[in-house]
Amino acid sequence: MLIVANRNIDEYARLAPVVRDEVSGHAGPLAGLAAAFGFLQANRHALPDWLLTAPADCPDPPRDLATRLRATLRADDDAACALATVAGKREPLFAMYRVGLAPDAWQASAQDALREHGSPTRWLAARGALPVDFDDPGDVFHNLNTPEDFHEYERTHG
């Protein structure tokens, strides 16, 4: 597990290794993806075949997220990425990448997209990411961003 963050580094470091965004300020999730691929490039000796991403503010991603995304990639040897969709809406931060031997190409592509538009959705569409339907019952891709979100989650989940 690797956490990519742009603040609270010491707090997150108690949970897992942390990589800081390469762009100062809050450049958004695409900056975090570029940082993750940069970390993989710098640590090629331990390079994984797959990279699964999920935002830390989603407390209950589907338990079979990795299994379903990887199955989609394994079914198509030419596919480089698969991402979750719900009711046709892309969830670009819930994705799996076939890292292979090219984390530098992923990093360069993410950095280019960050300079051009900053949208992970547009970036993954241009990269030909395969959609994987997660129209399961329940709101498995909800985010906790505000104190009200946390209170509501605690109320409904105990």
Number of domains within the chain: 1
Contacts of 96 (CB under 8 A, 6+ apart): 50, 51, 52, 53, 66, 69, 70, 73, 81, 82, 83
pLDDT for the residue numbered 138: 67
Contact 107, 93 (CB under 8 A): no
pLDDT digits (tens, 9 = 90+) for 51-87: 999 998 898 899 999 999 999 999 999 999 999 999 8
> In CATH, what number is assigned to the domain containing residue 121?
3.90.550.10
**For residue 24, what pLDDT band results from cuts at 50, 70 and 90?**
low
Higher-confidence residue of 9 and 142: namely: 9
Residue 153, helix vs strand vs coil: helix
**For residue 25, what pLDDT band results from cuts at 50, 70 and 90?**
low
Range of the domain at 57: 3-157
Q: What percent of the chain has pLDDT over 90?
A: 59
**pTM (two decimals):** 0.89
Average confidence score pLDDT of the chain:
89
